[in-house]
């Protein structure tokens, strides 16, 4: 009987994660915030933190990034894969685009879900941004959980397809559950 119960519990846990996914289970458990520590890619010094918090109006995104080129804009995107293993960050794949749309700015009608605009570095090479995004999802089929976040070397022009011509990847992080 003990073996049967011990076998049933993991099966039930796995079935709970099956269709709805891990992000849905976390939502049901009251997890309302995800975060990522940004790690510099090879040859760069860009680091920081990005948080994603569920609100009634959408997902609140807060980023604190340092080590950027002073007084410049840098593309800021969620990428398809939560993989920062490549020295240049390319293992994170392209922009997160589950709806197969054209690249655009955060306020454009048509854009990738992962298009978060630009970070504006101050004279000290630091950027701080806070905004609400109504296209990001913390659960469901297009959840951002486990995806990559990239800070790019150049500004996103919001037009060049498919990436916005934002240049190389300065920093990479993987979105996880905030502790």
Q: What angle do CA 170, 60, 179 make, to 5 degrees?
A: 75
DSSP H or E stretch at residue 74: strand 73-79
Domain formed by 22-177, architecture? Sandwich (2.60)
At 164 the three-state DSSP class reads coil
Q: Per the residue annotation, which of 95, 111, 139, 147 is the catalytic one?
A: 95
Sign of CA dihedral 71, 90, 37, 160: positive
Which residues does residue 111 pair with via DSSP β-bridges, in sequence order?
A: none
Residue 166 pLDDT > 90: no
DSSP run (H or E) holding 129: strand 127-133
How do residues 21-52 score in pLDDT, each as one tens digit? 655 555 555 678 999 999 999 999 999 999 99
- To the query of whether residue 128 is one of the catalytic residues in this protein, the response is no
Please write the tens of the pLDDT for every residue from 5-23: 334 344 334 434 443 465 5
Of 136, 119, 139, 137, nearest to 128 (Cα)?
119
Q: Which of 112, 133, 139, 156 is catalytic?
A: 112
Domain boundaries, the chain: 22-177
Q: Is 95 a catalytic residue?
A: yes
Q: For 11-65, what is the HEC assignment? A: HHHHHHHHCCHHHHHHHHCCCCEEEEEEEECCCCCCEEEEEEEEECCEEEEEEEE
Q: What is the mean pLDDT of the chain?
A: 82
Is residue 147 part of the annotated active site? The answer reads no
Give CA–CA dist 84/7, Å, rounded: 35
Active site residue 77: yes
Report in angstroms the alpha-carbon separations of 59 from 33, 84, 144.
9, 23, 11
């Amino acid at each position: 009987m003990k073996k049967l119960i011990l076998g049933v519990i993991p099966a039930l846990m796995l079935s709970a994660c099956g269709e709805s996914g891990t992000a849905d289970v976390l939502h049901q458990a009251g997890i309302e915030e995800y975060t990522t520590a940004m790690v510099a890619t090879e040859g760069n010094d860009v680091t920081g933190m990005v948080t994603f918090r569920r609100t009634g109006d959408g997902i609140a995104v807060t980023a604190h990034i340092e080590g950027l080129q002073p007084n410049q804009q840098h593309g800021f995107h969620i990428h398809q894969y939560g993989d920062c293993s490549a020295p240049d960050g390319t293992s994170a794949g392209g922009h997160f685009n589950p709806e197969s749309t054209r690249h655009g700015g955060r306020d454009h009608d048509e854009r990738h879900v992962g298009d978060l605009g630009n970070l504006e570095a101050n004279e000290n090479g630091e950027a701080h941004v806070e905004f609400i995004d109504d296209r990001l999802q913390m659960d469901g089929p297009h959840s951002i959980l486990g995806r990559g976040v990239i800070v790019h070397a150049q500004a996103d022009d919001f037009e060049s397809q498919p990436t916005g011509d934002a240049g190389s990847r300065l920093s990479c992080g993987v979105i996880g559950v905030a502790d």
